[in-house]
């Protein structure tokens, strides 16, 4: 179906942060798919885990115990706020389940009228009918019939509007610690803390969408850890499988307890192959020093990007995001699509995001030398995009 605007590039092979087309051209991948190939391409440990598991057993269904899923869930619980985990296959599915979980919680507490999730303008939560309603963006919703009920939107970062929106029908606040698709816009750590406090004050749940920000991308395993808060429930996907489809809902017991047999499920969810991939990714990300390394290389990249933005005032306005989820905010005259194409012409893959931002989400395994190479290519891409008057003025 004509659902995608694909670039005319097809990759045959990858290694680490690099991809090669069939005709031998090499690209530095600072998109990781879309923030998904978290430990790079063809990581030997991930390749081996998938190959060995595929040769044993790929799928048995949730009618039986799945040791790989039990192991992965136990590790996620051990390293997060959560008491239990549900596995699915994508971000939208994780969010769909998270929305069900917060509604079920209030229904079981005797308050079925509390089914509204408060979301934020600029959010992206997925493409299913409920997650489209949570996303709330008219551009994605139009033409798909009645919008699923039970979602409200308030301006991102506005605590007064948030508090005004809370009433007797509110079930939860759902938020991305950094709005990814919406333009790599971070919530301030203070805003996240105030959301936690408001949720506690009104007896509602804090549901974090860490589909894009989680699994080490921010330099900590979960982005909310920078704020020192804990959600009640959280979704994860994208980087969790390192490129293999996998999603998860992590929850406190007080939420998870109500999702009894028959209330929710998935045929593929948490199958042995996907969980073998998830465990292999975690082996890499939880290895001693790995996340410190992500933080270090991210700071190096940020320094370079701030300099680059300073050197190219006719192209870039600034740098935003956190860790290895970085947005180069472009001037209104330069479209992010144009800049993305200029980067491709220089051999660098990036991803556009909302609000005219060029998104960089490299694999977490990049080196400082690779960050420098990306900066060199971006610098040349900026030159390609610099309007001729600005170029003349700079001479």
End-to-end CA distance of the chain: 48
Residue nearest to ligand PLP (CB): 91
Q: Tell the smallest beta-carbon distance from residue 95 to ligand PLP (Å).
A: 6
Q: Tell the smallest beta-carbon distance from residue 40 to ligand PLP (Å).
A: 19
Do the Cβ atoms of 117 and 149 come closer than 8 Å?
Answer: no
Q: Does 209 bind ligand PLP (CB under 6 A)?
A: yes
* Phi, psi dihedral angles at 27 (to 5 degrees): -125, 145
Do the Cβ atoms of 327 and 359 come closer than 8 Å?
Answer: yes
Q: Which stretch binds ligand PLP (CB under 6 A): 13-21, 90-98, 326-334, 387-395?
A: 90-98
Residue whose entry in the numeric block shows the structure tokens 């179906």: 1
Alpha-carbon gap, residue 203 to 172, rounded angstroms: 9
Q: Does 90 bind ligand PLP (CB under 6 A)?
A: yes
Q: Does 359 bind ligand PLP (CB under 6 A)?
A: no
Give the nearer residue to ligand PLP in terms of CB position, either 153 or 238.
238
Q: Which two tokens stand for residue 163?
A: 């508090």
| Cα separations in angstroms, 229 against 109, 172, 197, 199 | 24, 16, 10, 12
Q: Tell the smallest beta-carbon distance from residue 169 to ligand PLP (Å).
A: 24
Q: Does 231 bind ligand PLP (CB under 6 A)?
A: no
Residue of 41, 43, 103, 125 interacting with ligand PLP (CB under 6 A)? 125
Q: Tell the smallest beta-carbon distance from residue 46 to ligand PLP (Å).
A: 18
Q: Which stretch binds ligand PLP (CB under 6 A): 6-14, 84-92, 292-300, 328-336?
A: 84-92
Alpha-carbon gap, residue 127 to 94, rounded angstroms: 12
Q: Tell the smallest beta-carbon distance from residue 346 to ligand PLP (Å).
A: 26
Angle separating helix axes 67-78 and 272-285, nearest 10 degrees: 30
Segment 164-183, which members bind ligand PLP (CB under 6 A)? Answer: 176, 180-181
Alpha-carbon gap, residue 82 to 54, rounded angstroms: 29
Q: Does 126 bind ligand PLP (CB under 6 A)?
A: yes
Angle separating helix axes 368-385 and 336-346, nearest 10 degrees: 120
Residue of 212, 218, 320, 356 interacting with ligand PLP (CB under 6 A)? 212
- Residue 247, classed as helix, strand or coil, is strand
Do the Cβ atoms of 248 and 76 come closer than 8 Å?
Answer: yes
Q: Tell the smallest beta-carbon distance from residue 213 to ligand PLP (Å).
A: 7
Sketch the per residue contact string, 234 through 253, with ligand PLP: x for CB under 6 A, - otherwise: ---xx---------------
Q: Tell the smallest beta-carbon distance from residue 90 to ligand PLP (Å).
A: 4
Q: Does 96 bind ligand PLP (CB under 6 A)?
A: no
Alpha-carbon gap, residue 24 to 268, rounded angstroms: 36
Give the nearer residue to ligand PLP in terms of CB position, either 14 or 180.
180
Number of residues that bind ligand PLP (CB under 6 A): 15
Alpha-carbon gap, residue 320 to 70, rounded angstroms: 37
Q: Which stretch binds ligand PLP (CB under 6 A): 55-63, 207-215, 333-341, 384-392?
A: 207-215
3-state percent breakdown (helix, strand, coil) of the chain, nearest 5: 40, 20, 40
Q: Does 325 bind ligand PLP (CB under 6 A)?
A: no
Helices (H) and strands (E) in the chain, counts: 14, 17
- What is the contact surface with ligand PLP in residues (CB under 6 A)? 90-92, 95, 124-126, 176, 180-181, 209, 211-212, 237-238
């Amino acid at each position: 179906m004509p659902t995608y605007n694909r670039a005319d590039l097809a990759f045959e092979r990858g290694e680490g942060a690099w991809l090669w087309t069939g005709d031998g051209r090499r690209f530095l991948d600072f998109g990781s798919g879309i923030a998904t190939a978290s430990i790079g391409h063809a990581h030997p440990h991930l390749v081996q885990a998938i190959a060995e598991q595929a040769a044993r057993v790929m799928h048995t269904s949730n009618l039986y115990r799945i040791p790989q899923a039990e192991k992965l869930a136990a590790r996620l619980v051990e390293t997060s706020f959560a008491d239990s985990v549900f596995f699915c296959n994508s971000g939208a599915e994780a969010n769909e389940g998270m929305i069900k979980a917060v509604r079920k919680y209030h229904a079981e507490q005797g308050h079925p009228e509390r089914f509204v999730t408060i979301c934020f303008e600029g959010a992206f939560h997925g493409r299913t009918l409920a997650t489209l309603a949570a996303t709330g963006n008219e551009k994605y919703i139009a033409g798909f019939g009645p919008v699923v009920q039970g979602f409200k939107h308030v301006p991102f970062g506005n605590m007064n509007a948030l508090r005004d929106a809370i009433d007797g029908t509110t079930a939860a606040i759902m938020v991305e610690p950094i709005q990814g698709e919406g333009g790599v816009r971070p919530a301030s750590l203070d805003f996240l803390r105030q959301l936690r406090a408001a949720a506690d004050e009104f007896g509602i749940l804090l549901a974090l969408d860490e589909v894009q920000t989680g699994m080490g991308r921010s330099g900590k395993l979960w982005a909310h850890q920078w704020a020192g808060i804990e959600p009640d429930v959280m979704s994860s996907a994208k980087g969790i499988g390192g490129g293999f489809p996998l999603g998860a809902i992590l929850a406190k017991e007080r939420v998870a307890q109500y999702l009894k047999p028959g209330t929710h499920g998935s045929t593929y969810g948490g199958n042995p192959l996907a969980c073998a991939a998830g465990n292999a990714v975690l082996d890499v990300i939880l290895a001693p020093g790995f996340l410190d390394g992500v933080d270090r290389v991210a700071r190096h990249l940020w320094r370079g990007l701030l300099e680059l933005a300073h050197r190219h005032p006719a192209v870039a306005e600034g740098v935003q995001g956190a860790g290895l989820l970085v947005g180069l905010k472009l001037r209104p005259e330069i479209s992010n699509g144009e800049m993305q194409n200029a980067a491709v012409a220089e051999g660098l893959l990036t991803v556009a995001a909302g609000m005219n931002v060029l998104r960089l989400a490299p694999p977490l395994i990049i080196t400082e030398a690779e960050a420098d190479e990306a900066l060199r290519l971006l610098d040349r891409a900026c030159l390609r995009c610099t309007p001729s008057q600005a170029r003349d003025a700079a001479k």
